[in-house]
Every structure is written in structure tokens, then in C-alpha cells.
Amino acid sequence: MTAAERTMRLLIIEDDRESADYLVKAFREVGHIADHAADGEEGLAMAENGDYDVLVVDRMLPKRDGLSLIGALRDKGESTPVLILSALGQVDDRIKGLRAGGDDYLPKPYSFAELLARVEVLSRRRGGPAEDTLYRVGDLELDRLSHRVARGKDELTLQPREFRLLEYLMKHAGQVVTRTMLLENVWDYHFDPQTNVIDVHISRLRSKIDKGFDRPLLHTIRGAGYMIRDGIR
Amino acid sequence: MTAFGKLVRTTAFRLTLVYLLLFAMFAASLLGYFAWNTRRLITEEITQTVNSETSEMNEIYGRGGMFRLVRTIEYRALRPGANLYLVTTPTGQAVAGNVGSLAPGVMATRGWSETAYRRIEDADDRDHRALVRVTELENGFRLLIGRDLAERRRLFGIVAKAAQWSVLIVVVLGLGGGIFVARRVLRRIDAMTGTAQRIMTGDLSGRLPVGRSGDELDRLAENLNAMLERIEALMAGLKEVSDNIAHDLKTPLTRLRNRAEEALAKSGCEADYRAALERTIEESDGLIRTFNALLMIARAESGQARGNMDDFDAAEVAGGIHELYEPLAEDDGMTLKVKAEPTPVHGNRELISQALANLVENAIKYGKPAAQAGTVVSMDARQITIEARREGDQVLLSVTDRGPGIPEADRKHAVERFVRLEASRTLPGSGLGLSLASAVATLHGGELRLGDAYPGLVATLALPARTGAGDRVAPPIPDVPQKVA
């Protein structure tokens, strides 16, 4: 795992001691600050007082369940991004979680790489308006208004979906984006394909934007996903 | 509770009692009204007769004096069934008539009165009752004319008796009917309760007895039976799932365990450990996927996903899946085509997309034409087609390949959970793809059909069409390359 680009303050609200310890340790190892709350009430109090970048909330908690905790936070005007962790992984559970005020939803069991990638995206979203009309990574440029993509002096022709894929990757430039995140955000599917469909799309995109250039921009992050960035950090 | 206590507590019996009371009250009031009116009519008639005779006598007295009056009265008094007549002197002595004795003071009061009396010729000492009118003649003599009330009493008696009998009959018949109906209902309810108790103790195959009358109890029993059938099917499904889980998840779990054990036993280098761990993670991911698929199938089959239904265009779903899988198919040397016309459908878009994705993945994996020596496989034979169209009252989402297909005998079997047909055992897969597609189709009230594409397999999700309001569906977005200037 690569070291964090920017240190995040995280609050993990999870009642299972072992999972919580694992998460706290794993987040600290990649350079983030992680606190832990063991139940809903404690979590709510800490979330209100501490200045956190992202809250990771288990859905089923003692004293106050995850969704009600998020509801209480949102009612108080607290807009810290929340990622919901839940053993309930079906589409309707997800919708319920997002409606309750969660910003992302990750069903258990999950891989830490997936969780880290999502938390980083959430914290970045809070960091500032990422809604620029022009994305630039190295000499690759994507104009969201005119739908133009160019690398150096070459104009690139992309299919609509390739454009959206690149747009999403460039929006999160420098961050790991997992296959599930791509499937959810670019294709709007929430199921788990049994095959490597996303990899094929990525390799097509890669052949368009990286082929024939010395410096590859689209990188595969082993065991996690993909990242677009200029050179080695 | 005693048998009688149970009987008395039945709704049928209680209702009978209420009706009984109502009917008895109705009969009583009807007869009471009848009796009262009869009495009034008879009284009126007597009054009229007496009035007219009184004025007649007054006239006779006026014309012929006392002598004529007495003569007339004596003559009339002797007629059979005669009225009552009495003429007295101002001092109260009887002069003429057929009245032997009267209640005291009757002659003293002028006008109408009801009185006990005896006729002169009466042998018994029984008092009779009569309605009489007393008038005073000019000379102070008094004239009484009246009529016996026996007729009125008799009629009244008949009515009263009729009332008694009818109430008695109503009560007896009502109670008898109530007990009969209650016992009949109770017998059937007891039979149902008995069956229900047997079912509760675990015999899910039991069914409630259904009569032939088609009454409300039969309808209830039929509906309960349908419910039991559903429960039995669900329980069987649950058992099948747990059996499958036990069987098909234990195998990879054992593999996982063995691998970890092996890695521990062999004191290898870090790279070996790393490789072992990576394969462990891979294997667990596969297990998680299988688990998710099983849960999803179970949810679809139990109907829980019905909450998330909305209207959308099946052609859009077909287009979306085509767009997602087209590069993968191409990498595998196949062509993925889509033929879709706007087809409104109502359902869970995510689930239908996933079902279609499963069919496409299957077609890519298993739909390759068998390579025969010496023949060149044409491009046409490497084509997979996704189609969305409406046929009658069904929306058909189909995936057609030109591969070896599935023999007709195996098709039903292929849809079952974890079934991997002989031909596909060597390829990776969970054996749940078709099961999920089938469960999704069933959830929407449709079915998954496997057919022959001569050659190849055509897998069709047949869903009931959404009727009416087809205009809400947006036209499909043409899939053209983005123009870059």
C-alpha cells in the first residue's frame, strides 16, 4: 500500500473489537489518524466534538444504530462524509443507507484496499470543489464541457463510456479507484460481475491514452484497483 | 372447556340467540298490535249497535210510551243471542229486561260503563262482563242497553294463545337451529384446528379439509392451504439452500484451510508465504461472491426485493449490458450485438441487469462454437446477440449464442443452484448464474427459458409487460463515438 498523500482524521465507529483494532491499525499504517468508538452514543459524541474528515460507521451498533447516528448528525447540520459498513449488502439496504444520509456504502466482508480507496475519495470530496471543467494530469487534458480529450498535442477519440471512465479516474487523480467504485460510479451497477469486465475497459482506455507515450499515466495498483497520476510519487 | 360450553361460545350460536330474541320480539309486537286492534274494532262495533238501539228505543218510547217500550224490550230480550236490556223505575226497580243482576251503581251512572252482570235465565252463578249504556227517559225511568263482551274476550284469548305458541315455536326452532348450525361449524373448525395443530408440530404436508359447498369456511380453508403450500415450498427451498451451502461451500473452505495448513507446515521463504496468502484471499473472495449470489437468489425467491420496482426501458438495460460486456467479448474473440426496441417494463432494474449480465457472461464463457478440424469458424458463429422486444403481453430479454447449446434434457437441470453441466466443469464459475437469472424472472412473475438457437443456446428472460402508459419511456440513446474536434 502506498503511503497517504495527505493525512486524514478518521473516526471508526464499530462495536466488534477485533475489526475495529484491525481498521485503526491499518489506517495508521498508511499514515492516517484513526480514532475508535465502540457504540452509537459514544460515536455520536465523538463525531460531534472531534474534527474528522471521514466517519466509518458500522450499521448495527449497540445503544444507537448506525443509520440513526447519521440521521442525528445530519439533523445537527454536521456534513462530515460518512461511509457505512454493513453486513447487509443488498441493493435495497444500500439505498436505505444512502437515504439516511450516508455518502457511501460498503458491504461486509470488504477488503481494506477497497475501504481505503473509498475513504480517500470521500475525504477529497470534502476538501474542495472538484468540479473543475478542465482536468489535467501530466500532459493529459480532459475538458468536461466540450468533451475533448488531448494528450500533448494529440487529440484523442473516446467512446462516451471511455470518456466517463477517464473523467472519473481524472477527477480522483492520485487516488486509488477500485473496480467496484468504477462499476458503481461509471456504469451505475451495484452487482459483482464474475468476470474481469472492468479490466478490459481499462486496458482499452489505456491503449488510447498511454500507447505510444513514454510516460504511462494510468497505473494498475495491485490488489486494489487503478490510479491515474503523473509519474511516480 | 366442556363440549356444551364450546357450543354455546360459538359465534353461530350467539348470533342465533340474538336473532331469536329479535324474532320473538317481532312476533310478540305483531300479535300485540293485532290483538289491540281487534279489541278496538269489536268495541267500536258494540258501541255502534248499542247507540243505534238506544236511539231506537227512545223513539219507541216517544211514540208509544212506557207500555210500548216494555213490550218491545221483552220481545227483543227473548231472542237468542240478544243484547242486554233493563228498564228501571226512578227508584231502581226493574220493570223489564233480561238482566238479573248488575254490579252496584251501574244504573246510577249515565253513559258508558263496563260491568259484571248475570242474565235472568242464566243457571250458573258465573258473572259475565258487558259493555252497557245507561240513559234516562223523560219520566225518570232508566234504560240500559248493552252487549256481552265474551266475543271480545274469546278473540283476545285466541290471539294471546297464538302469541304464546308462536314465541314458543320460535324459541324451540331457533335454539335447535342454532345448536345445529353451531355444531356443524364447530365440527369443521375442530377439524381445521386439528390439522393446524398437526402442521404446527412439524408435518408441513398436512392440508385443511375443504368441503364441496364453496362457503366461506371452504374458501378460508382453500386460502390457508395455498398459504401452506407456499410455506412448504419456501421451507423446501431453504432446506435446499442450506444443503447446497453445506455441500458447495465446504469444498472451497476445505481447500482454503488445506492451503493455509500447507503453507504453515512448509517453512518456505517470504515469497511462498505471500503467494499462499494471496491465493487465500482470492479463494475467500470467490467464497464471498458465491455467498452473495446465494443470498441474492434467496432474497429474490422469497419476494423481498419487490420493494424496489420501478418503470424503465428494457432496451436501455440491454444496451447498458452490451456496452459493459462488448470489449470483454471482443477480447475473447466474440462479437456482442444488441437488437433492442423501446420496451417499457416494470421491475427491479438492478436485478434484471444482473440477470442479463449473467446470461451474457455465460454466453461468452460457454457459447464458443466447438472448433472442428479443418473448418474455419466464421464470424457469424462467434456472435452473441442481446435482444429486447415485446411479444404479446411479455417482454423478452434474450441472449443468443452460436455455441454448443444445452441438450434439451439438461435444460431444466441447468437452472438449479450449483449445477455445472459436464461441458462447463473445467471452466471457472459458481454454478449460480442461471439460478439467479431464473430467480429474478420468477420474482417479476416471469420465467427463464432456455431454448435451441440451431445451433446454440437462446436464454430468455420472459417478464410480464407493463400495460399502458408506454409513452413514459425515453427513446434509446444512440451509441455513437464521441466526436472530438
Q: Which of B324, B481, B485 sits opposite A148 (nearest CB)?
A: B485
User: Which residues partner with B71 through β-bridges?
Assistant: none
Distance from CA of B321 to the nearest CA of A (A): 9
User: Has domain B306-369+380-470 been given CATH number 3.30.565.10?
Assistant: yes
Q: Please report the pLDDT score of residue A78 as a whole number.
A: 81
Comparing B186 with B470, which gets the higher pLDDT?
Answer: B186
User: Has domain B6-154 been given CATH number 3.30.450?
Assistant: yes
Q: Quick: pLDDT tens for B202-234.
A: 777 778 878 777 788 888 888 888 888 888 887
Q: Quick: pLDDT tens for A4-35.
A: 467 888 888 888 888 888 889 888 988 888 88
Distance from CA of B433 to the nearest CA of A (A): 9
Amino acid residing at B316: E
The yes-or-no verdict on residue B268 having pLDDT over 90 is no
Average pLDDT over residues B65-74: 87
In this structure, how many other beta carbons lie within 10 angstroms of the beta carbon of residue A233? Answer: 9
Q: Tell me how far apart the terminal alpha carbons of chain B are, to the nearest angstrom.
A: 91
Average pLDDT over residues B377-383: 69
Judge residue B389's burial from the number of C-beta atoms within 10 Å of its C-beta, 0-12 exposed, 13-18 middle, 19 or more buried.
middle
Would you call the peptide bond into A109 cis, given omega within 30 degrees of 0 as the criterion? yes
Please tell me the least confidently modeled range out of A196-205, B160-169, B286-295. Answer: B286-295
Q: In what order do the strands lie in the sheet with B394-400?
A: B335-340, B383-391, B394-400, B457-464, B447-452
Domain ranges within chain B, ordered by starting residue: 6-154, 306-369+380-470
Average pLDDT over residues A127-133: 62
Angle between helices B314-331 and B349-366 (to 10 degrees): 30
Write out chain A residues lying below 8 Å of B329, CB-based. Answer: none
CB contact under 8 A, A109 and B288: yes
Q: Which of A147, A204, A223 sits opposite B327 (nearest CB)?
A: A204
Comparing B424 with B318, which gets the higher pLDDT?
Answer: B318
Reported ipTM: the value is 0.79
* Binding-site residues on chain A for chain B (CB distance < 8 A): 89-92, 95, 107, 109, 111, 146-149, 155-161, 163, 187, 189-197, 200-201, 204, 223
pLDDT band at B47 (very low <50, low <70, confident <90, very high): very high
Q: Quick: pLDDT tens for B400-415.
A: 888 777 777 777 767 6
pLDDT band at B48 (very low <50, low <70, confident <90, very high): very high
Q: How many CB pairs under 8 A join A and B?
A: 85
Shared fold status for B6-154 and B306-369+380-470: no
B290 in A contact zone (CB under 8 Å): no
